[in-house]
């Protein structure tokens, strides 16, 4: 039995709960941070339904405060830093997202350094890789690419993930080179929910099941199954690759309509409201004039975000589940849990 303790920040989140299950199943002790002790019991019940949760404990800590992080990191071998703000809508002041993401990451890193933590895995995103280049980017995006935060049409969320990852890498290089660091950069995270606390990741699929959209905008989305994201985090924690590795967690990019079709085919009548007809770009742009929520996608209409993460697959020894499995799995769980 592995008695190594791993800290999972923001353990009540969708991805973080899957990471905790992955770690517990592989014999780790897991300490999770929650912003309020009220959340701990619900998280324990969820995890206990999927694995042995006897080696699970909790600490109250918030990214916005120093309180709790010393206790959280004490006696910990590794940290999976998943806690980060994820907006349902883009804020008017982008600093509302950027500051907590950057400052919170540095707060956890400082505590990890002080506690002598050996390994640190940060959950970043493909949005820290693919945006801000316009038409100037040649070929597919790889682990070596970075979002240009000064580029056109880069959202506050994309900036927050990019700058938080940059800040972490700068901190390691300058202040704590002995701390082994890696980032995992997932695409849009699909796959099964463990409980009814769906969070932001499932909103898109739930909205499609409800019939919110009359058709599919011509959007290219990097997607990944949450079970693969959890496995990638564990493998990044255990990896013998040099510190500083970057792992693009995605099964590839898929057009919106091609993401919807397997859901409709798999769920049949239960997915009757799911759109599969592609909308002309001009129609989406027209809607965006009156619908602020649609405006952020306009610059991405028709842009094919091709991704080559063969280096990640080789280093971690992973094959990522296709969207034809992860999309229906998320839709099925939303329906099973009564969230649609």
CB atoms within 10 A of CB 170: 11
pLDDT over threshold 90, residue 292 = no
β-bridge mates for residue 7, sequence order: 31, 79
Cβ atoms of 317 and 136 within 8 Å: the answer is no
Instruction: Give the Cα separation of 325 and 76 in Å (integer).
Output: 35
Closest CA to 152 of 305, 291, 302, 300: 300
Q: Is 310 a residue whose pLDDT tops 90?
A: yes
State the CATH number of the domain containing residue 239: 3.40.50.720
Tens of pLDDT, residue by residue over 84-131, are 765 555 556 777 778 888 999 999 999 999 999 999 999 999 999 999
In angstroms, how far apart are the furthest CA atoms of the chain? 59
- The rounded distance, in Å, linking the Cα atoms of 53 and 193 is 18
Instruction: Write the pLDDT tens digit of every residue in 49-96.
Output: 999 999 999 999 999 899 999 999 999 999 999 987 655 555 567 777
The encoded tokens of residue 125 equal 């995103």
Question: What residue numbers bound the domain in which 13 lies?
Answer: 5-336
Angle at the Cα of 161 from the Cα atoms of 156 and 163, rounded to 5 degrees:
90
Bridge partners of residue 223, in order along the sequence: 188, 252
HEC string for the chain:
CCCCEEEEECCCCHHHHHHHHHHHHCCCEEEEEECCCHHHHHHHHHHHCCCCCCCEEEEECCCCCCCCHHHHHCCCCEEEECCCCCCCCCCCCCHHHHHHHHHHHHHHHHHHHHHCCCEEEEECCHHHCCCCCCCCCCCCECCCCCCCCCCCCCCHHHHHHHHHHHHHHHHHHHHCCCCEEEEEEECEEECCCCCCCCCHHHHHHHHHHCCCCCCECCCEEEEEEHHHHHHHHHHHHHCCCCCCEEEEECCEEEEHHHHHHHHHHHHHHHHCCCCCCECCHHHHHHHHHHCHHHHHHHHHCCCCCCECCHHHHHHHCCCCCCHHHHHHHHHHHHHHCCCC
Domain count, the chain: 1
Mean pLDDT score across all residues of the chain = 93
The upper half-sphere exposure of residue 309, i.e. CA atoms within 13 Å in the direction of its Cβ, equals 29
The reported pLDDT for the residue numbered 94 is 77
Per-residue pLDDT reduced to its tens digit, 251-291: 999 999 999 999 999 999 999 999 999 999 999 999 889 88
């Amino acid at each position: 039995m592995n008695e190594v303790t791993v800290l999972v920040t923001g353990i009540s989140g969708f991805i973080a709960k899957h990471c905790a299950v992955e770690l517990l199943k592989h014999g780790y002790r897991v300490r999770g941070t929650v912003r309020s002790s009220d959340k701990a019991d619900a998280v324990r019940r969820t995890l206990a339904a999927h694995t042995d949760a006897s080696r699970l404990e909790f600490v109250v800590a918030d990214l916005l405060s120093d309180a709790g992080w010393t206790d959280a990191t004490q006696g910990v071998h590794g940290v999976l830093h998943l806690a980060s703000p994820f907006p349902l809508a883009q804020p008017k002041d982008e600093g509302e997202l950027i500051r907590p993401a950057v400052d919170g990451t540095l707060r956890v890193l400082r505590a990890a350094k002080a506690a002598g933590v050996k390994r640190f895995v940060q959950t970043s995103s493909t949005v820290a890789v693919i945006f801000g280049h316009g038409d100037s980017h040649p070929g597919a995006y790889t682990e070596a690419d970075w979002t240009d935060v000064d580029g056109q049409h880069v959202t506050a969320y994309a900036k927050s993930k990019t700058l938080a990852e940059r800040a972490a890498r700068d901190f390691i290089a300058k202040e704590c080179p002995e701390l082994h660091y890696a980032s995992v950069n997932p695409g849009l995270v699909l796959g099964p929910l463990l409980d009814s606390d769906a969070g932001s990741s499932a909103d898109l699929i739930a909205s499609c099941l409800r019939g919110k959209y009359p058709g599919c905008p011509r959007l290219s989305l990097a997607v990944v199954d949450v079970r693969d994201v959890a496995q990638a985090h564990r493998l990044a924690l255990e990896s013998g690759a040099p510190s500083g590795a970057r792992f693009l967690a995605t099964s590839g990019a898929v057009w919106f309509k091609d993401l919807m079709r397997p859901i409709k085919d798999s769920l049949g009548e239960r997915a009757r409201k799911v759109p599969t007809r592609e909308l002309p770009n001009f129609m989406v742009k027209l809607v965006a004039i009156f619908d602020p929520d649609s405006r952020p996608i306009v610059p991405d209409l028709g842009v094919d975000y091709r991704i080559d993460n063969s280096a990640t697959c080789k280093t971690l020894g992973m094959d990522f589940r296709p969207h034809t499995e992860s999309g229906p799995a998320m839709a099925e769980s939303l329906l099973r849990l009564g969230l649609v």
